[in-house]
Structure formats: C-alpha cells, structure tokens
Structure 1
Amino acid sequence: MSLRTTLSRASAVAAAALLVATATPAPAPAAPAPSPAPKAAAGETGAARWAVQPSSAKGPTGRNYFIYDLAPGSTLTDHVGVTNLGDRPLTFDVYGTDAYTSTDGAFALLPADRPATDVGSWISVARREWTIPAGKRVDIPFRLTVPANATPGDHTGGVIGAVARVRTTADGQRVLVDQRLAARVYLRVTGPVRPAVTVEAVDVAYDNPVNPFGGGDLVVRYRLRNDGNVRVGGSGTVTVRAPFGREQARTAPTDLPELLPGATFTVTERITGVPPLLRLTAEVDIAATTTDTALPPVVRTAGVWAPPWLLLALLAAAAGWAGLRWWRRRGTPAGRVTAPGPDDTATAGRRPGPVSDAAPAGPHPDARRPDAP
C-alpha cells in the first residue's frame, strides 16, 4: 500500500470543516517528517498547531465563512489565511473540496482521496504546497470560477489547510496522517430557487406493556431528504394520537441539522408512558426554513397497533363467565326429569280413560219435586 493511499484513508478520521480552529495532535515519535518539511530535532515533539480562516491580501477580514452570490460564468479572487501556531516551520497542502451532510447531521468535507466535482473543483490555488515559518501567517490567494452551466442554488465546500505527518503505529508500521482544517465556502449561484423537504419514511414501533395503566415506549423514526437546491434547517415535532384523533403525547421541537441539497437525515424520537389504546398514530410535523424564509409545514403520519392485552383478557374472561351463567339459567335441558308437583300427587297411579261429553248422573236442576205446586 503506498504512502499516499495510507494518507487518503487516514484523512477520513482527521478533523475537517472547522473554521478558525487550532489543531493540536498528540506528540509524534522521533521520526523524519516528509519532505520538504524539516526534520524534527532529537527529543523535540514538534506538535503542529495552525489555523485556517477567510482573509484578504492585507489580513483577516473578520468573516466567519466564504459567502458568495455569483452568476454562472463569474470569476473572483479571494484569500485564505493559514497561520502556523507551532514552534517550527510547517508545510501545508492548500486546496478546495466539496462538502456534504454526514449521517449524523454534521457538516463534513470529502476525504483527500475523493476528487471534488462541485464548488471544490471550481477553486484553484497557484500552488498546492505552502511552507509557513513558525508563528507566521500567509494569506494565500485562490480563484473561484463558476462554470457557465452551473445549476442555480447552493453549492457548499471548503478551502482546506492540511498537514501531512508521519506516525508510527503500535505494531511499528509507519503511516502518513493527514490532519485538516478548513474554512467553509457557501456559494449561491443565481437563478430559480427551489426549497423542498420531504419526509421519505416514518417507522413506528411500540413496546406494549403488561400493565396497560403504566404505559409503554413509542419509538418514531423518520427520514428527511432535502429535495430542493438550497440548504435547509428547521425543527421537527412528533404528536401521538389515539383513535378519533385524541392527542396523547407531543415531543418538544427537535432542531434539525443543516441539510445540504440532496442530503438525507434520520431522526429518532422515543416517547415514554404511552398507554395502549388499540391504535396509535404518530404525526410528524416538519417546520423547515432556509436562509431566506420559512417553508410550508410538511406533515406525514404512520400508525401502529397497540392492543391492551391485559384488559382484553379480563374482558374475555368476564364475557366467558357471563355466558356460562346464562347457559346455566336458561330453560331445562331436554330429557331432564323433574320432581312431581302437588297436583300431580292426586292423580298419581290413575290410568287415563276416555273422556265423555254426557251429563253427570243425578236430578237435573230444573226437575220438579212431586209436591211442587
């Protein structure tokens, strides 16, 4: 593996995209630094410390970032100040590169082994290597040329001041470590501006508790994408609703990182003490903003089943008991023999005979007695 390849891989973990920052790496072993930097004297740690900031031909201007509004085809010249804060001369690599939003929402710059394809490739420096004496600052000019076919909107990158140093690992391997600091570049190319944020996906998971009165944890994970051509920020809120839209919980607004055009970012919210109410709905509300204005709210919902198992089990048991009692209390089942009643005793043992319509024997009530007048 070549020394430059090792440099490229090690640069991914070095500090990047910091503005007017000071780098203080751990003391290096007594090993020769790469040419053309001078060798450290015996016993000298030679800790490198430096700063990178926007500047001018006469010195720093107090700017925090390089911020430009340019039309396609425009060209300008600016300066980046690189200050050697150490006690010996240092050689810096000075160049431009592109920025991106990392998975954790941080502003990041491309590693050294990845060539720039956007604003970083539009930045040119007279030469790449600059040797700066101890305690001195050099204001290095660079040219920014916007292509005639550049797309409107935001293009973000950085001007890097990097120091390459030889380190010896624990197993005796010598590696070239690329330590980088940068001043951010925010360029807006004139033309139609299209701010847009999309909630691509919402995933809801519920930890159903045994005790429904104690509540469970509801985890809402949603992914945002900047579909526009300008960088956006803002905040996001999650509201939990029960059936019929009743609000159960609401999170405090979560600040969103700065999303560069095309960037995605995943937000995870955990809401505790949510009771199982059969069906829970999570409503994600994004209030996005640009550097110029606020955007219309973006709302997306997703639901999850949250049955109260203990209550349902109790209801099922109560319903089963009620059904059993009803079954026992209904009419006598067929084939069951009951005890005889009082009227049945008088006729017990009699054999049923024919029923006659004849009048009973004896005098008729209308018959006259012999002595009747």
Structure 2
Amino acid sequence: MRIPTKVAAILALAILVPAAWPAPAFAAPVPAAADDGRVTWSVVPADAAGPDGRRVVDLELAPGARATEHVAVSNHSAEEVTFALSANDGYLTERGSFDMRPSAVEPVDGGAWIAVPDEVVVGPGETEVVSVEVAAPADALPGDHPAGVAASVRSGGEMQVESRVGVRVNLRVPGDVVAALDADLLGVSFLHGPSLFEPGSLVVRYAVVNDGTVALNTTALVGADSALGGPHASAPRGEALEVLPGGRREISVEVPGVWPLGPFGVEAVVGATVAEGAAGGDVPAPADVVLTDTAWALPLLHALVLLALVLVGWAVRRALRARRSRLDRLIERARAEGRAEVLASRG
C-alpha cells in the first residue's frame, strides 16, 4: 500500500557496520550508503493506513494467540530501494540502547514469534506499510519477550556491510510473572579533589542482574561514611535504568564530598520497579539489594605535599646551617689572622 511521505515520523538513518557484527538497529541517526548511492530510510510503527505516532510496538498475547501489527518503511532517497526485512530477539547494549540480534543469528525468544516478508520495494520518497504477523507459542512463558523488526540494505564487495533501521517490539504474555533483582558490587575507588583544599569522590561500580521474567527499572542510593567521623557523603538517586529479563548492566556512581580520611563504609541500596507496560500489571516490585564494602580514601596527595614541604624545610635548614658554618669559619680565620698580625708587630 502506497501512502504520502509527509508523515509525522522521526527519521532514523542507518548505521554502517560489518555484517558479521551486531548492527545497532535502534541507534542515533547517521547517514548510510548503499552500492549505487546514498540511501536513507526510516522504520516506524504503523496501522494499515500508515505511521500511527507510536515509538514502539506494545503487544500482549496469551499463549497460542495471534495478532497482526504493521510497520511503515519510508524511503527518503532519490531512487527505488529494495529493503530486506527481518525480525529477531531484542536486548540492551552496554550503553542501555535497545538493539536486536544480527540477522545471521537465529532467534530463540520473541523474535521467533514474528513473521515478516523477506523484502519490500519502496519507491523514491515513498512509504510502504508492511504487515507483521505475531504468533505466541502455546507454551509461551508469562513475562516480557523483547524483539525487533528491521529493514536493511547490503553493500560492499567481498566484505558485505549490512545497514539497518528497526522498530522495538515489546511482546508480553500475561500470567504468573516473576520480578527478581540481584546485584553485585564490582569495586570502589577514590578520586582526589581538584585541589588539596577540596574533597574528592568515591566511584562505586556495581552490576544489576534481572533474574525475573519482566523488565525492570533500577535505581540505586549510594552513600559513604568515614570510620574517623568525617561527614556523610551520598550520591543523588539517578535516572532509572532499564534491565530486560535475563539482562545484566554495569553501572558507575560517583559519590562527591569525600575527604581522604582513611577507611570508609560504603553502602549501595539497589532497588527496582516493574517497567511501565511490562507483563504482570500489578506484580510487586522485587526487594531491594543492599551492597556494602569498606574502601580506603588515603590523603596521598596531602602526604606528598607534606613530604615535599618537609624536604624543602630540611634543605633550607641545611643550607642555612652550612652558610652559618662557613660564616663562623671566616670569622675565626679573620680573628686568627688578626692575632697573628698583633704578635708579629710586637716582635
């Protein structure tokens, strides 16, 4: 079905990556090139008439149920392009961006539930609506099953390059779901302040693991207390970070206002809520995980400066003593010469 291209859709341009590596299908807009020229395109959720304003496809299916969704593939180039279509399991990158497995990798979860045509031909400046058939297996487990649908082009000679743009598909199966959170403390390090008269900070690294069947939004409250009675330091609770079922994310939090006063007791309270729209509806949030450790914030710079001052003081004192010793020797020599002259004149 052909529709006008003047639609309210955000242009997401493809990223060039080797076909052997995962292509970031949902990354920031960047131009992509095909064999015979510059090709730019976008893929957005749609209904049968065209783009419908959604950013992602949210779909709840009972085990064994089927549904039809749509995506709109828009060709913003000056020539007709044939786009390959694919569906695969979704995941979060290290930076937290949503992506889908490479087309060469066989889907094993939500991506295996989705069927799309092998390709779609889109004329210059035109948009084609593509049907997306979704069928949940009869034994589908309750919970979230992230997936994605992408349109891609290949270019290059012997080394093929796959450029793709995709749509996130949140598939959910209702039922008895589990919200489970785990976390590990990876390490704590101290950063000195910009000057000797300003506090430094503790950098706390921890990993969050989603052991449940629903997506979680995680946050942490991190604090530090000096064993020598220094002021309490804490980091504000940051933006919630999404962790998909079975996923793991490593996070660093900087705790400011820490003076180098020796050992510190560090505590990180990691909490989570069920992501908005996740399967399970009113499922209770998992219990907080409390991570504790002892870290050392030593005044190394202060000690070095003190040592330098001591060395400078010692050097100045030694120079003054040497100068005084030379002056005493000169005075004694002058006195001796004076006595010698007096004795010589008497003789």
TM over 0.5: yes
- Does residue 1:94 correspond to 2:85, yes or no? yes
Q: Who is 2:132 aligned against?
A: 142
- Does residue 1:280 correspond to 2:287, yes or no? no
Secondary structure of 2:246's partner?
coil
Give the residue type in structure 2 aligned to 1:133: G
Give the residue type in structure 2 aligned to 1:84: N
Aligned equivalents of 1:239, 1:116: Cα separation in 2: 42
Residue by residue over 1:43-98, the C-alpha shift from the partner in whole angstroms, topping out at 9 and shown as x without a partner, is xxx31111111122222222221111111111112221111111101011112111
- Does residue 1:114 correspond to 2:105, yes or no? yes
Kept in 2, the 8 Å contact 1:9–1:113? The answer is no
How far 1:201 moved relative to its partner? 2.4
Q: Who is 2:147 aligned against?
A: 157
Unaligned runs of 5+ in 2: 1-15, 307-347
Aligned equivalents of 1:239, 1:64: Cα separation in 2: 37
Aligned equivalents of 2:230, 2:288: Cα separation in 1: 21
How far 1:225 moved relative to its partner? 0.7
The 3 A distance-change label for structure 1 pair 215 and 187 is same
How far 1:108 moved relative to its partner? 1.7
Aligned equivalents of 2:290, 2:42: Cα separation in 1: 43
Aligned equivalents of 2:147, 2:242: Cα separation in 1: 14
How far 1:174 moved relative to its partner? 4.9
Residue by residue over 1:111-148, the C-alpha shift from the partner in whole angstroms, topping out at 9 and shown as x without a partner, is 222121111111112x3022211122111112111011
Aligned equivalents of 2:130, 2:32: Cα separation in 1: 24
Kept in 2, the 8 Å contact 1:55–1:61? The answer is yes
How far 1:273 moved relative to its partner? 4.6
Kept in 1, the 8 Å contact 2:17–2:23? The answer is no
Give the residue type in structure 2 aligned to 1:241: D
How far 1:202 moved relative to its partner? 4.2
Larger strand proportion of the pair? 2
Q: Who is 1:124 aligned against?
A: 115
Alignment of 1:143-292 (within 5 A): 143-166=133-156, 174-206=158-190, 215-243=199-227, 248-290=232-274, 291=276
Aligned equivalents of 2:202, 2:272: Cα separation in 1: 24
How far 1:279 moved relative to its partner? 2.5
Aligned equivalents of 1:149, 1:47: Cα separation in 2: 45
Aligned equivalents of 2:201, 2:244: Cα separation in 1: 32
Kept in 2, the 8 Å contact 1:239–1:282? The answer is yes
Kept in 2, the 8 Å contact 1:120–1:157? The answer is yes
Alignment of 1:310-321 (within 5 A): none
Kept in 2, the 8 Å contact 1:106–1:257? The answer is no
Aligned equivalents of 1:230, 1:117: Cα separation in 2: 17
- Does residue 1:65 correspond to 2:53, yes or no? no
Q: Who is 2:123 aligned against?
A: 133
Secondary structure of 1:255's partner?
coil
Aligned equivalents of 2:179, 2:230: Cα separation in 1: 33
Greater shift after overlay, 153-162 or 246-255? 246-255
Secondary structure of 1:229's partner?
coil
The structure with more radius of gyration: 1
Secondary structure of 1:17's partner?
coil
Give the residue type in structure 2 aligned to 1:176: Q
Aligned equivalents of 1:22, 1:102: Cα separation in 2: 17
Give the residue type in structure 1 aligned to 2:19: A
Q: How many percent identity over aligned positions? A: 33
Q: Who is 2:31 aligned against?
A: 24
The 3 A distance-change label for structure 1 pair 240 and 81 is same
Kept in 2, the 8 Å contact 1:213–1:275? The answer is no
Q: Which among 72, 82, 88 is matched to residue 73 of structure 2? A: 82
Secondary structure of 1:175's partner?
coil
The 3 A distance-change label for structure 1 pair 238 and 195 is same
TM-score, normalised via structure 1 length? 0.67
The 3 A distance-change label for structure 1 pair 308 and 178 is closer
Give the residue type in structure 2 aligned to 1:90: V
Q: Who is 1:105 aligned against?
A: 96
Kept in 2, the 8 Å contact 1:17–1:182? The answer is yes
Aligned equivalents of 1:251, 1:144: Cα separation in 2: 44
Aligned equivalents of 1:248, 1:89: Cα separation in 2: 63
Unaligned runs of 5+ in 1: 1-6, 34-39, 41-45, 167-172, 315-373
How far 1:217 moved relative to its partner? 3.8
Aligned equivalents of 1:247, 1:147: Cα separation in 2: 57
Greater shift after overlay, 279-288 or 237-246? 237-246
The 3 A distance-change label for structure 1 pair 307 and 22 is closer
